[in-house]
């Protein structure tokens, strides 16, 4: 049983913060989180400076994931969007992400071009097509400890009942966890948990300003969710901080007014382990 599988047997909800590169993952690991979440949206925001509208590619996500898992040991749940194509593309995605160190691979049932689950205008593929992708994903993995998470975006397109029916079908395929995206109300969240949570771990997605009411991991755990993610909060916090930092630097022409809100040279090197790295290098001199 993988560390993530073992953690999901515990009664409390697993809180996984969003990360988007090795540095953000390292800081999150040092803060003590038990799992991390790498979203396609966060990669679009940070690597492309673009919206989450299906522009991010398989290779960009795989490369980002590999750099993160090379730096941290904390299990990473990775957003594979739609598998980046059909069932065969999905198999390539799962194999590649598994090699890159993914602990759990998330696949969704949106049609192309996909978009952020909390944007309007989504479309979903037929249930049979998504089930084919999920079966392909399960067949592609080399290790049963690499978990497959099925996400449905059907609430916004077909309604809650149809979304829960889809989740049932995806569960029948043998997936390890489910994610009903963009539940609108606490009543909808409870309906999803009442129908599914006793059989499979359910993921709750907390998007600041999104469709779903933001609650704490403890509150969501009491409802029945087993995994809680705040996927884009990291990028939003960093963007807000950079707006203030750059405005201050532009105005004052120096970083001095910002000194109490940033790490100095030694502080950053301590965070990323520069002294330890240099000491290790001396072993080979």
What is the rounded radius of gyration, in angstroms, for the C-alpha atoms of the chain? 20
Residues 92/130, Cβ–Cβ less than 8 Å: no
Residues 5/220, Cβ–Cβ less than 8 Å: no
* pLDDT attached to residue 227: 98
Counting as low any pLDDT under 70, the low residues of the chain are 115-119, 121
The CATH number of domain 3-232, selected from 3.30.1490.20, 3.40.50.10710, 3.20.20.60, 3.20.20.370: 3.20.20.60
Residues 143/94, Cβ–Cβ less than 8 Å: no
> In Å, how far are 40, 233, 237, 247 from 240, measured between CA atoms?
20, 10, 5, 11
- Strands of the chain (E only): list them: 14-19, 36-38, 76-79, 104-108, 147-152, 177-180, 202-205, 227-230
- All structural domains of the chain with their residue ranges: 3-232, 239-282
* pLDDT attached to residue 210: 79
* pLDDT attached to residue 218: 97
**Using CA atoms, how far apart are residues 172 and 156, in angstroms rounded to an integer?**
23
- Please report how many Cα atoms fall inside a 13 Å half-sphere around the Cα of residue 82, on the Cβ side: 26
Length of the chain: 285
* pLDDT attached to residue 53: 87
């Amino acid at each position: 049983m993988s560390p993530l599988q073992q953690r999901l047997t515990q009664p409390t909800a697993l809180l996984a913060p969003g990360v988007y590169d090795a540095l953000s993952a390292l800081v999150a690991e040092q803060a003590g989180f038990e799992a991390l979440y790498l979203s396609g949206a966060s990669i679009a925001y940070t690597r492309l400076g673009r919206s989450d509208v299906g522009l991010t590619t398989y290779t960009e996500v795989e490369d980002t994931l590999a750099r993160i898992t090379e730096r941290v040991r904390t299990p990473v749940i990775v957003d594979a969007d739609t598998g980046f194509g059909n069932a065969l593309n999905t198999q390539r995605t799962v194999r590649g992400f598994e090699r890159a160190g993914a602990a759990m691979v998330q696949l969704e049932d949106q049609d192309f071009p996909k978009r952020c689950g909390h944007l309007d205008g989504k479309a979903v593929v037929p249930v049979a097509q998504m089930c084919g992708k999920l079966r392909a994903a399960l067949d592609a993995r080399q290790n049963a400890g690499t978990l497959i998470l099925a996400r449905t975006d059907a609430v916004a397109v077909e309604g809650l009942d149809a979304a829960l029916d889809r989740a049932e079908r995806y569960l029948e395929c043998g997936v390890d966890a489910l994610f009903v995206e963009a539940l609108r109300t606490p009543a909808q969240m409870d309906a999803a948990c009442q129908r599914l949570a006793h059989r499979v771990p359910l993921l709750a997605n907390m998007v600041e300003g999104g469709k779903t009411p933001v609650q704490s991991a403890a509150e969501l755990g009491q409802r029945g969710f087993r995994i809680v993610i705040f996927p884009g909060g990291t990028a939003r916090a960093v963007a807000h901080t950079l707006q203030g930092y750059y405005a201050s630097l532009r105005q004052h022409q120096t970083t001095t007014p910002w000194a109490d809100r940033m790490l100095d040279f030694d502080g950053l090197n301590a965070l990323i382990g520069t002294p330890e790295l240099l000491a290790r290098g001396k072993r080979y001199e």
